[in-house]
Amino acid sequence: MTESPSQRRPTILDVARAAGVSRAAVSKVIRDAYGVSPAMRERVLAAIEELDYRPSAAARGLRGSSYTIGMELPHLTNPFLTEIADGARQALLGTPYHLVVAPAAGPERGAIEALVDHRVDGIIAISPLVQPDWLEELALRVPLVMVGIHDDAASYDTVVGDDVEGARQVMGHLLGLGHRRIAHLTEGEEVTAARSTPHALRLQSYLECMREAGLERHVRVVHVKNEQDEARDATLALLREPDRPSAVFAAHDSLAIGALAAISESGLTASDVAVVGYDNIALAGHPLISLTSVDQSGRSLGQQAVAMIRERLEGRADARRFMAQPRLVVRSSSAAAAASVEESSGRARRRTPHRADASTGVSPTR
């Protein structure tokens, strides 16, 4: 007894019959190849959806493509990274490609190698500690886009935010509010001391802005692991110091939320200690959090990374860089410095110079 299409897994031939086209035409649509009219593509995609057709990954691999894009994430605890992954997922909707996420459970290079072993067609990675020479060699074998790494790459693409400008927007905002004792809460020294990582550039900009404002004696850099609890503990220690900071610039929002928890537990408010984060994750806009933060649109970064991978798959060979422009979103976590501090700040409270007009990219929100 022969099974009907509804009783077994549909095949490419079933799709071709339902769409009224040849198997070759269905294959072209699946591969997103040239030479397919919009009308034919629409019929084939409709038949694929109706039949719930899913090509075998093994068969696709044997034909030279797995139709999967691999994405390596250093960890899953930072909501900004999941926003980037979600942007990549959204960009692949309606295409024959699927996203495979590999969290790094140890050295980031291991997760990338696992994706290569699974024969993905391209890799998007967020690996600040992987050596560029190794990445250059890898990019000769598989299309590669690095997110958040300011490398001058020859063989792979990079998608970054303008971390220097973003950090200067933060510092200009805090200095303009009269703050002098501004602490910088950032990740471990292995990250900030690495090559051009976002956190290295944000730290560099913080130090430059403090120096330009004549506030070198108030520089305070605190390194923590990438965890809210450790950021909370570090901030509690800062608040116990006799000359506690009046503001905290956190290198990303998860650290900023840990700092806000410490300030609340200490019975203080934004009027006592201002906090500014970076990444503008969804939680930052919650009315009970209301965190001032730099928005660099994580989902847009993920979408851009997918676009560049697909360009590579279509034959582009030259290395390219995409840089997103940051925008400071001002909320209630960053209040003006107390009057006593503001009065004593004198000449040092002048606004830090920006590479663009100070009003550019700063927008108040509810």
* Three-state DSSP class for residue 72: strand
pLDDT tens figures, 98-124: 999 999 876 678 899 999 888 899 999
What digits encode the pLDDT tens for the residues 143-176? Answer: 999 999 999 999 999 999 999 999 999 999 999 9
DSSP state of 216: G
- Per mean pLDDT, which range of 30-34, 77-81, 307-311, 349-353 is the poorest? 349-353
**d(C-alpha 285, C-alpha 293), whole Å:** 9
User: Which residue in 168, 32, 22, 147 sits closest to 83, CA to CA?
Assistant: 147
What pTM was computed for the model?
0.78
For residue 33, the model assigns a pLDDT of 67
Residue labelled with tokens 């590669």 = 144
> What is the Cα–Cα distance from 70 to 125, expressed in whole angstroms?
8
Domains of the chain: 10-54 (1.10.260.40), 68-161+299-323 (3.40.50.2300), 163-295+336-364 (3.40.50.2300)
Give residue 350's pLDDT band: very low, low, confident or very high (50, 70, 90). Answer: very low
Give the pLDDT of residue 77.
Answer: 83
Q: What separation in angstroms does the CA of 195 have from each of 31, 130, 181, 306? A: 38, 10, 28, 24
Minimum mean pLDDT among 61-70, 141-150, 289-298: which range? 61-70
* Distant-in-sequence, close-in-space partners of 264: CB < 8 Å, separation ≥ 6: none
CB 198 within 8 A of CB 161: yes
For the chain, give the mean pLDDT.
Answer: 87
**pLDDT for the residue 7:** 58
pLDDT value at residue 117? 87
Q: What is the pLDDT of residue 26?
A: 84
Three-class SS of 233-288: HHHHHHHCCCCCCCEEEECCHHHHHHHHHHHHHCCCCCCCCEEEEEECCHHHHCCC
